[in-house]
Amino acid sequence: MAVEVVYRSSRDLERLFMDKAEADRYDKMLELAEALSEALQKAVPSLSEQQVEELGIFMAKNRDTFAKAFKNQPEALAELGAEVAE
């Protein structure tokens, strides 16, 4: 009988990972998504809870692209349009 070590996300108990670093990255992404969602909800209160959550997760998953755009490279956002279209 083989023994496997798996790691569970502390923020999403349904997700299991084979690598601790990957689980940590996922938790940090969810933490960022939560913070973004809170900021978006304050900025645009008319958004539904689901919309705010989806936007927060989308922005957190694409944080590098948004970081480039915020550093005077707005053309980086074109990458997001290509990914969404696929």
Spans of all domains in the chain: 7-85
Residue 83 pLDDT exceeds 70 = no
Contact yes or no for 56/40 (Cβ under 8 A): yes
Backbone angles phi, psi at 30, to 5 degrees: -65, -35
Among the listed residues 59, 60, 53, the one whose alpha carbon sits nearest the alpha carbon of residue 37 = 53
Q: What is the mean pLDDT of residues 36-59?
A: 96
Give residue 18's pLDDT band: very low, low, confident or very high (50, 70, 90): very high
User: How far, in Å, CA of 86 to CA of 75, rounded?
Assistant: 18
What percentage of residues in the chain have a pLDDT greater than 90? 67
| Superfamily designation of domain 7-85 | PSPTO_1197 like (1.10.10.710)
User: How far, in Å, CA of 51 to CA of 74, rounded?
Assistant: 23
